[in-house]
Structure 1
Amino acid sequence: MGPLSVPASVTTILLDIEGTTTPITFVKAILFPYIQDNVKEYLLNHWQEKECQEDIDQLRLQAEKDTGLNGFVPIPENDAELQQVVQGVVDNVHWQMSLDRKTTALKQLQGHMWRAAYNTGQVKGEVYDDVVPALRKWKEAGMKLYIFSSGSVEAQKLLFGYSIEGDLLELYEGYFDTTIGPKVESESYRRIADHIGCSTENILFLTDVTKEAKAAKEAGVHVAVVVRPGNANLTDEEKAKYPLISTFEQIILPSAK
């Protein structure tokens, strides 16, 4: 691990969140437990709202697709007793989260629950110390900054909008989640490039997950794997295959060479 000279073709930096800009412990120890502990109360408090009912409809549709999976939890129709439906949603959410699933329906509900938590100050988004200075420096140098995370776009905006460093939304040009495609499929990165209006070779993707780095690289995107405390250990083969950085300070932009 050492300085990473960014290729001259790069005009855009695409960032993962968990393990890259934000400690994995924030998601695992704060955000996820918040959902598990508060989902029932949230559903009961917001039951009459259209948004909440749409979230439940999406979870129910996902549940229908999941029929037959091991441990599958069905969600009763709304004509069943309220407590039955609520408990079905709670059990389904807990089941999906126990498998670390990334379904869009689950992420949508989580995003709405986190919005309520951020708005009331119960949660603030964490970022590593080196992140904000680097993002500001890159933006000032003319780089376009985007996020690509498995968390919903809304959840992403909440984390950076209500961060421990204040509102960071001004730093980003845009946000991508799994609605554009899975992070482990190369086609997702081609779609992102199309959406941004650039070539894949104009993008540098920073992630802590080598499967994501592999998919991005296959699409022609430049990649670097971020090694942070608490991130998954890399094999020697993975270490040899990708550029590694332990802090954003190691990234040297073309103009700074």
Structure 2
Amino acid sequence: MIVLKEMKSCCKDVLFPYIKENVQDYLRLHWEEEECQADICQLRKQAEEDSNLDGFVPIPLDSGKGADDVAHAIQAVVNNVQWQMSQDRKTTALKQLQGHMWREAFSAGHVKGEVYGDVVPAIRKWKKAGKKVFIYSSGSVEAQKLLFGHSVQGDLLDLFDGHFDTMIGPKVKSESYRRIAESIGYSPENILFLTDVTKEAKAAEEAGVNVAVVVRPGNAPLTDEEKSHYSIITSFSALCLPLLL
């Protein structure tokens, strides 16, 4: 059984910039809607938890319903979102808002998901061999399904047997991988986790999960110690079927 980190080449260049460029307009358009207010509530709770962090951006409680009050409140949320993204935060509150924005963007055809060219052929080969494939991403389950359901290669959701996000736990905590194993009914030693982040690889390994680190253009360079410690692949096609669990 294989658990994959979200396999995308478009988040950094397309999806994240879309959030930064459009979050203010999105909030203005949807401010009074229940879903948007729920997102803001979660962001405000996260901001309270972040109050001890350097440079954190607060989101005050609404002070009124006038146009100036709303504009001030929206700007506070925008500032917080921009700060979290500048710090590469992966909080559930941030990912929830991003997922809702991406849902609108994908539905309108403004953006499409992209995956590396070797991904789809490799997964189809694994599936044909009877392997189950799951996604574990810092992006929300909803965002994952949007990305793979509206890709430039069509609807790819049939490739996956399930999805996990940070609701199961942080990706750098070993307990998260134990929870995934329990949830899908596999022992950790029968799971292979593919990721491009060594902190995630370390956490999965501590949980007893097998790990391979995927090296892609633009990724953070690996240390000599990491290169010698982890199994390294540069393409999903380089993962030999006999090695899959």
Check whether TM > 0.5: yes
- Corresponding residue number in structure 1 for 2:62: 78
Correspondence 1:145 to 2:127: no
Given that 1:226 and 1:247 are in contact with CA atoms closer than 8 Å, whether structure 2 keeps it comes out as: yes
Correspondence 1:66 to 2:50: yes
Correspondence 1:16 to 2:5: yes
Normalising by structure 2, we get a TM-score of 0.94
How many angstroms does 1:244 deviate by?
Answer: 0.7
CA gap 1:140/1:255 in 2 versus in 1, 3 angstroms: farther
Which one of the candidate residues 223, 234, 251 is aligned to 2:239?
Answer: 251
How many angstroms does 1:69 deviate by?
Answer: 2.4
Deviations 1:46-94 (A, max 9, x none): 1122111100010111111122422222213234311111111111111
How many angstroms does 1:162 deviate by?
Answer: 0.6
CA gap 1:255/1:205 in 2 versus in 1, 3 angstroms: closer
Please give the alpha-carbon distance, in whole angstroms, between the structure 2 residues aligned to 1:215 and 1:72. 27
Correspondence 1:49 to 2:37: no
Please give the alpha-carbon distance, in whole angstroms, between the structure 1 residues aligned to 2:216 and 2:49. 36
Given that 1:76 and 1:84 are in contact with CA atoms closer than 8 Å, whether structure 2 keeps it comes out as: no
Which one of the candidate residues 178, 194, 213 is aligned to 1:206?
Answer: 194
Normalising by structure 1, we get a TM-score of 0.90
SS at match of 1:118: helix
Overall identity of the aligned pairs, in %? 67
Please give the alpha-carbon distance, in whole angstroms, between the structure 1 residues aligned to 2:167 and 2:42. 14
How many angstroms does 1:225 deviate by?
Answer: 0.6
SS at match of 1:206: strand
Amino acid at match of 2:169: G
Paired residue total: 240
Amino acid at match of 1:183: K
Task: Show the 5 A alignment for 1:1-257.
Answer: 12-17=1-6, 21-23=7-9, 26-80=10-64, 81-254=69-242
SS at match of 2:167: helix
Is 247-256 or 49-58 further displaced after alignment?
247-256
How many angstroms does 1:33 deviate by?
Answer: 1.1
Amino acid at match of 1:74: P
Where relative contact order (Cα < 8 A, 6+ residues apart) is larger, the structure is 1
CA gap 1:255/1:67 in 2 versus in 1, 3 angstroms: closer
CA gap 1:248/1:255 in 2 versus in 1, 3 angstroms: closer
Please give the alpha-carbon distance, in whole angstroms, between the structure 2 residues aligned to 1:96 and 1:200. 32
Which blocks of at least 5 consecutive residues in structure 2 are unaligned?
A: none
